Chain A
Amino acid sequence: MEEQKEIEFRLLCYNPEVDIKAYFKTFSIELEKGVTILRAINYIKDHVDPTITFRHFCQAGICGSCAMRINGVSKLACTTQVWDELENCPEEGVIVVEPMNNMDVIRDLVTDMDPVMDKLKEYHCWVEPNTEDSKLGVKETSVSPEEFETIEFATDCILCAACYSECSMCTVNDQYISPLVMLRAYRMNKDTRDSAAEERTKILVKDNGAWDCTHCYKCVEHCVMNIPIMTAIMGVRKEALDRGLVKSEGARHAMAFNDDIYSHGRLREVTLPIRTLGVKKTIAMAPFALKMASKNRVPPLFPKPTSEQKNVKKMFKQYEQEKISEKKGNP
């Protein structure tokens, strides 16, 4: 590819005080290979249109302020190369830059992060020290490298909110906790200096919380720090189960998989709704069930266990026995 060329940028602009809706402004600029998207839009602001508004600060992928959608995907403008983006253009040679999704636009590429911050507060995403107030600052509260290991990946988060922008559930529910906040909450729960995991977890599994993640893995795919965010989401759910918070629909649904793999090897879909939702909500599903039945889309009423189910049961029992021995200190 050429080392220097003219490239078209389409920036989605919107000033809520003046504009009825967002519109694209198009700029053609001559750029050299090696330039980042942030440098390019900074050039446009400095030399072509000073009204273009966006957030940026460190220019090194650390502060997380310049997240925006580049060719439809949430990324940091400062770590994204223009030449790389030329490979991703829906229309050849045209780079489309838009504000992040799932947030209101304050102006042009600047989105309102307040709801994100409010959720961080709502879910107590800070360490609640297990040291008495009077003793704080008197004695060092250390975290050993081994203790840090479990949360290390989660501490890489720079709060850029690319995951929030990409999240399928955030798109349809602005009250949804979001992957970002779950990652933070998980990190605090597992911090050995923290004393609020029990209370925090109770809040995490309420409506719009941890059980509403739809496992689309968009957060993982688009995390600019390559954090396996699903590990934290699943970690929060496991913590809820381990703490006995098993009465929610999400918890009951998840545990059904464990029960069915043990008893039958396969999921017993015929009773899954009643086990997840209870009797009342299952009865409300009757019209849907009848429609499914009219097309013979019904799970077997008495599903057969798999051909070697006795071995699967033995596997589960061996696991339980080993756990008991471990607890007694005889691995």
Chain B
Amino acid sequence: MKYAYYLSCINESLTKELDRSLECWKNDLGIVLVKLEAGTCCGGSNFDFVNPDLCLVNNARNIALAEQLDLDLVTSCNTCLLGIRHAKTILDGSEEKRKYVNRYLEKESLEYKGTSEVKHLLWVLNEDYGLDRLAEKVVKPLTGLKLAPFYGCHILRPSALMGVDNPNAPKSLDLLLETLGAETVEYKSKNRCCGFHTLLVAEEQSLDICGGAVQDGIDSGADFIVTPCPLCHTSLDSYQKKALSKQNRNDSIPILHLSQVVGLALGYSSKELGIDRHIVSESVLQ
């Protein structure tokens, strides 16, 4: 299995451990990820309105880079998934738009054809690789661990663009975690917002959104929260202390990346998976 791996900005800076943990185990599953070094930022759901036409060209280019390799594009960030899928949906539905972007791409000998799918790593594991096959590869089942799946917004909504999970009752991450041997908990915040996108411009309110989700995760009795999105991870982990202190709480819960939790079940250590880099990590490292 081979994919074009889209490099998300945040994994090149704040959450480097995500790609590092993926690097650890991809050979175990035989999933080859070809890094799209020439790819550019998806626009972070901001470029979309700053310059909608150029944003479309930019993401058409990202997809065209994967098409050039004859591979589907896979991302490990929800917001990148949304931005790039949004572009794909527009382009696949309009010949006029395809012609428009290709006028730009031809200068780089690229062409948007619509032949590559745009997927999240979670979907690749669940659908392309398959949970039965994954179960066979588990060497250190996460038995006894209670995990709270936190999906994040842009892998669920708008569902018209995503179409994998029911955004009101998502299951894909739950099923994956159960395949790895863990028990999953039901809690209200599993499909809610983490507040990341307004952390700089409306910090107080964003911390309240984040704090609500983290509290809910702790109160569900989970040992860890697991998220398939590095932006959610940053909000829930790096801002956790600040967010919980606003709610007058001084407890904590570690937040794991999807790639790390898979790595743990495949037998890698917390350190190899970069869990020691998290702001909240003590109880995982013990």
Binding site for B on A (CB under 8 A): 72-73, 88, 168-169, 171-173, 176, 211-218, 220-221, 228, 230, 234-235, 237-238, 241, 249-250, 253-258, 260-261, 265-267, 269-270, 272-273, 276-277, 288, 291-292, 295-300, 303, 306-308, 311-312, 314-316, 318-319
A250 touches B13 (CB 8 A): no
A253 touches B209 (CB 8 A): no
Residue of B nearest to A236 (CB): B49
B132 at the interface (CB under 8 A from A): no
Most buried by A among B54, B108, B196, B206: B54
Extra inter-chain contacts (17) besides given A169-B202, A173-B202, A212-B198, CB under 8 Å: A211-B201, A215-B79, A215-B153, A217-B157, A220-B158, A238-B50, A254-B47, A257-B47, A258-B54, A265-B41, A267-B9, A269-B13, A295-B277, A297-B15, A306-B40, A312-B61, A315-B54
- The number of inter-chain residue pairs (CB within 8 angstroms) is 180
Q: Write out the residue numbers on chain A whose beta carbons fall within 8 Å of the beta carbon of B277.
A: 295-297
B279 touches A297 (CB 8 A): yes
A176 touches B205 (CB 8 A): yes
Q: Write out the residue numbers on chain A whose beta carbons fall within 8 Å of the beta carbon of B205.
A: 169, 172-173, 176, 212
Q: Which of B200, B206, B212, B238 is the one whose CB lies under 8 Å from A273?
A: B200
Q: What class of interface size applies to chain B in its complex with A? A: 35 or more
With contacts A214-B198, A261-B41, A299-B13 known, is A234 near B49, CB below 8 A? yes
Q: Which of B107, B212, B279 is the one whose CB lies under 8 Å from A172?
A: B212
* Nearest 3 CB-CB pairings of A with B: A299-B13, A234-B49, A217-B157
Q: Write out the residue numbers on chain B whose beta carbons fall within 8 Å of the beta carbon of A267.
A: 9-10, 13, 41, 44
A261 touches B197 (CB 8 A): no
Q: How far apart sit A256 and B200, CA to CA, in the bound complex (Å)?
A: 13
Q: Which of A88, A218, A237, A319 is the one whose CB lies under 8 Å from B193?
A: A218
**A/B interface sample: 26 pairs, CB < 8 A:** A88-B169, A168-B192, A172-B209, A211-B198, A212-B201, A215-B45, A216-B192, A217-B158, A221-B167, A257-B43, A257-B46, A257-B47, A261-B43, A267-B13, A291-B279, A292-B14, A292-B238, A295-B277, A296-B16, A298-B14, A299-B12, A300-B12, A303-B12, A312-B58, A314-B107, A314-B108
Q: Write out the residue numbers on chain B whose beta carbons fall within 8 Å of the beta carbon of A230.
A: 158
A254 touches B46 (CB 8 A): yes
Q: How far apart sit A237 and B197, CA to CA, in the bound complex (Å)?
A: 15
Q: Which of A168, A295, A318 is the one whose CB lies under 8 Å from B107?
A: A318
A250 touches B201 (CB 8 A): yes
* Nearest chain B CB to A47 CB, angstrom units: 30
Q: How far apart sit A172 and B61, CA to CA, in the bound complex (Å)?
A: 38
Q: Write out the residue numbers on chain B whose beta carbons fall within 8 Å of the beta carbon of A311.
A: 38, 107-108
With contacts A241-B50, A261-B40 known, is A318 near B238, CB below 8 A? no
Q: How far apart sit A241 and B196, CA to CA, in the bound complex (Å)?
A: 22
Q: Write out the residue numbers on chain A whose beta carbons fall within 8 Å of the beta carbon of B43.
A: 257, 261
Q: Write out the residue numbers on chain A whose beta carbons fall within 8 Å of the beta carbon of B37.
A: 306-307
Q: Write out the residue numbers on chain A whose beta carbons fall within 8 Å of the beta carbon of B7.
A: 266
B143 at the interface (CB under 8 A from A): no
